[in-house]
Amino acid sequence: MAAAIQTCVIPLSSRSQGISTTYVQQGNGSPPIVLLHGFDSSLLEFRRLMPLLAQQTQLWAVDLLGFGFTERPDDLDVSPASINAHLYSVWQTLIQRPVVLVGASMGGAAAIAFTLAYPHAVEKLVLIDSAGYSSGPVMGRFLNDSLGYWVTERFLKTPSVRQKISEKAYYDKAFASVDAQKCAALHLDCPNWSKSLISFTRSGGYRSCKTSLAEIQVPTLILWGEGDRILGTKDATRFHSAIPQSKLVWVPNCGHVPHLEKPEFTARAMMDFLG
């Protein structure tokens, strides 16, 4: 999948120069599916799901603004608003037709924000153990440069810390392998990785969208690992109750990342949902 990564300069109205954006496109057919990764991750998060879905339809896995292998200029502002604007420009530049938008964890919050802002671009929505129902911690908005550097470079970048997070994300800890850790860490050496995480954290990140969920007018599939220890399981039923045309599917013996831990189940549930 790494060998299949492509780049495209995506224009942004807020900048004089575009952003070199990384993505993987596989398969053919309609409707196109766009996959959005979680926090401090990359499109490689979908390495096990994409080969299964590419047999059925066209797929796009995109690195969000400030994340993955997408370019991070020195002065880049990374916030939910700038991520949304960048993603819409990706859609206008590369796809230009309604998509099935799939978001995992923080990518789910990004997918919800995009669907609410640009409903004409989304045909259906899939949320995988999604963030966004509850607000994240507000203390990050007060992060200074020195503390932010310590949190990212001296803590979050540490292999032992990332391994513990990986083990917590899976129901079966055997999935937190050396291979998984390498895939999850490849983007850490990209220029300005730390700066972008600090910028996003200072923005406050994705706030609670629960008061806006009733405005989602597209069919929505909610996939949730029964053993999620990152976000828990309560928000799954809350999303289901709040989104009008939603269906909730529990993924058995699975943690926070069904697309990695149960890719066959996840692919089958998605294709059943799409008919």
- Can you say how many angstroms the Cα of residue 74 is from the centroid of all Cα atoms in its chain? 23
Strand 33-36 to 59-62 pairing: parallel
Q: For residue 16, give the 3-state DSSP assignment.
A: coil
Q: Is 256 a catalytic residue?
A: yes
The C-alpha atoms of residue 79 and residue 59 are separated, in whole angstroms, by 25
Residue tagged active-site, from 37, 86, 256, 259 = 256
Token pair belonging to 5: 């990564």
pLDDT value of position 140: 58
The answer to whether 129 touches 111, Cβ cutoff 8 Å, is no
Helices (H), 124-257: 145-149, 159-169, 178-185, 193-202, 234-242
The answer to whether 32 touches 61, Cβ cutoff 8 Å, is no
| Domain 2-274 part of CATH 3.40.50.1820 | yes
Residue tagged active-site, from 105, 166, 199, 246 = 105
Token pair belonging to 171: 């129901």
Helix (H) or strand (E) holding 27: none
β-strand partners of 34? 60, 101
pTM: 0.95
- Burial level of 217, CB count in 10 A (0-12/13-18/19+)? middle
The answer to whether 25 touches 47, Cβ cutoff 8 Å, is no
The C-alpha atoms of residue 170 and residue 261 are separated, in whole angstroms, by 7
Q: Is 259 a catalytic residue?
A: no
- Can you say how many angstroms the Cα of residue 166 is from the centroid of all Cα atoms in its chain? 16
Q: Is 189 a catalytic residue?
A: no
The C-alpha atoms of residue 33 and residue 70 are separated, in whole angstroms, by 19
pLDDT value of position 45: 97
Token pair belonging to 174: 């055997």
- Name the residue among 21, 24, 45, 42 with its Cα closest to residue 33: 24
Taking only the tens of pLDDT, the chain with its 275 residues reads 999 999 999 999 989 999 999 999 999 988 999 999 999 999 999 999 999 999 889 999 999 999 999 999 999 999 999 999 999 999 999 999 999 999 999 999 999 999 999 999 999 999 999 999 987 655 555 566 666 665 777 778 899 999 999 999 999 999 999 999 999 999 999 999 999 999 999 999 999 999 999 999 999 999 999 999 999 999 999 999 999 999 999 999 999 999 999 999 999 999 999 98
Calculate Rg over the CA atoms of the chain.
17
Residue tagged active-site, from 228, 235, 246, 259 = 228
- Burial level of 118, CB count in 10 A (0-12/13-18/19+)? middle
pLDDT value of position 236: 98
pLDDT value of position 153: 73
- Type of residue found at 93: T
The C-alpha atoms of residue 54 and residue 46 are separated, in whole angstroms, by 12
